[in-house]
Amino acid sequence: MKSAKALGFIKGDVVQTEKGQGFPAILIGDAHMTTPLCEVWGFEREMGSVYSEDLVKISDEKFLELIAHYGHSKPASSVSKAAQEVINRLQRRVGC
């Protein structure tokens, strides 16, 4: 299995799990691993490791659409610094 970095991912990427069929997430951990840490907006908001080969990069707009689909009004804050930086970028860019 390849690391997230080998697959082109970096810390702070907005992704979707399950090869584009799962939950929206932000990569918050070491991309050198095959199971990088992500903050995930699913039925619950949580943090966990995800197999790098199951991740797909998505646009900011798709991320916001997906979190709304799972019942999250907007990603106003985060417990991780990496995800908070992405959320701040989203707030500036698309005004969420």
Bridge partners for 38 per DSSP: 27, 48
Residue 96 has pLDDT above 60, yes or no: no
Integer Cα distance of 91 and 24 in angstroms: 17
What torsion do the CA atoms of 3, 88, 74, 7 make, to the nearest 10 degrees?
-10
Average pLDDT, the chain: 90
pLDDT digits (tens, 9 = 90+) for 8-52: 999 999 999 999 899 999 999 989 999 999 999 998 889 999 999
Helix extents (H) in 38-96: 60-69, 81-94
Bridge partners for 14 per DSSP: 26
pLDDT digits (tens, 9 = 90+) for 50-80: 999 999 999 988 998 898 898 887 766 777 8
Q: Where are the beta strands (DSSP E) in 1-96?
A: 14-16, 24-27, 37-41, 45-49, 56-57
Instruction: Determine how many CB atoms are found less than 10 A away from the CB of residue 7.
Output: 14
pLDDT at 32: 93
What residue spans define the domains of the chain? Answer: 14-94
